[in-house]
């Protein structure tokens, strides 16, 4: 993929020391899980405990709940961009579906914290642009290869997949099956 990803302009900076980075990443992972399961009101103490750190470490990295929410959101966008880069070398349909499976996780997290985000902020718009710039080439390549329908737009695809995240699922396997069924409608015949 020969593209330059738009820079994500965010205030959260990962620590330089390896142990501090591990704590930071553990906090983001625990927060992502907690917010997805319990919403934006999830206990910060529980998040710190789940990450294996003290509450002071959480507040050193994320002075406010909003800082943590923003970091989770922008971390998800960054992971989506990296996932697109990682999938780019796969065959067209496999690249697209691999990225869309990762997109499902992003959509579930975004749904949980949507109301807490300032969607008018420049960095939110930059994040959306970065996500589209990462995923759209995978979709277009699948279309050009004749593997994805040409009568749908990338935005249509993302809205469909996002809508799938609103449903409740018994487990991850069921969510994956439903996504596969939906993607059968995207596949060119």
Q: Which pLDDT score is estimated for 12?
A: 54
CATH 1.10.357.10 in the chain, residues?
66-184
- Structure confidence by residue, pLDDT tens digits, 94-145: 999 999 999 988 887 777 777 777 777 778 888 889 999 999 999 999 999 9
Q: Which pLDDT score is estimated for 36?
A: 82
Q: What is the torsion angle, in degrees rounded to the nearest 10, for the CA atoms of residue 33, residue 39, residue 43 and residue 47?
A: 10
Q: Which pLDDT score is estimated for 15?
A: 67
Distance from C-alpha of 116 to C-alpha of 10, rounded to nearest angstrom: 16
* Percent of the chain clearing pLDDT 90 (strictly above): 59
CATH 1.10.10.60 in the chain, residues?
16-63
CATH of 16-63, one of 1.10.10.60, 3.40.50.720, 3.60.21.10, 3.30.2310.20: 1.10.10.60
Question: 66-184 has which CATH code?
Answer: 1.10.357.10
Residues of the chain with pLDDT under 50: 1-6, 9-11
Compute the C-alpha angle 127/132/138, nearest 5°: 140
């Amino acid at each position: 993929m020969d593209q330059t990803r738009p820079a994500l302009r965010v205030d959260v900076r990962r620590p330089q020391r390896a142990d501090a980075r591990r704590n930071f990443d553990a906090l983001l992972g625990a927060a992502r899980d907690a917010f997805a399961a319990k919403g934006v009101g999830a206990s910060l103490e529980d998040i710190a405990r789940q990450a294996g750190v003290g509450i002071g470490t959480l507040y050193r990295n994320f002075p406010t709940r909003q800082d943590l929410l923003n970091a989770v959101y922008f971390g998800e966008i960054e992971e989506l961009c990296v996932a697109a880069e990682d999938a780019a070398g796969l065959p067209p349909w496999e690249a697209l579906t691999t990225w869309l499976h990762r997109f499902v996780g992003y959509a579930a997290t975004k749904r949980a914290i949507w109301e807490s985000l300032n969607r008018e902020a420049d960095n939110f718009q930059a994040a959306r642009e970065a996500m589209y710039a990462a995923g759209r080439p995978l979709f277009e390549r699948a279309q050009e290869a004749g593997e994805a329908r040409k009568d749908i737009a990338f935005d249509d695809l993302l809205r469909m997949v996002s809508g799938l995240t609103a449903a409740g699922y018994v487990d991850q396997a069921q969510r994956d099956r439903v996504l596969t069924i939906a993607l059968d409608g995207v596949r060119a015949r």
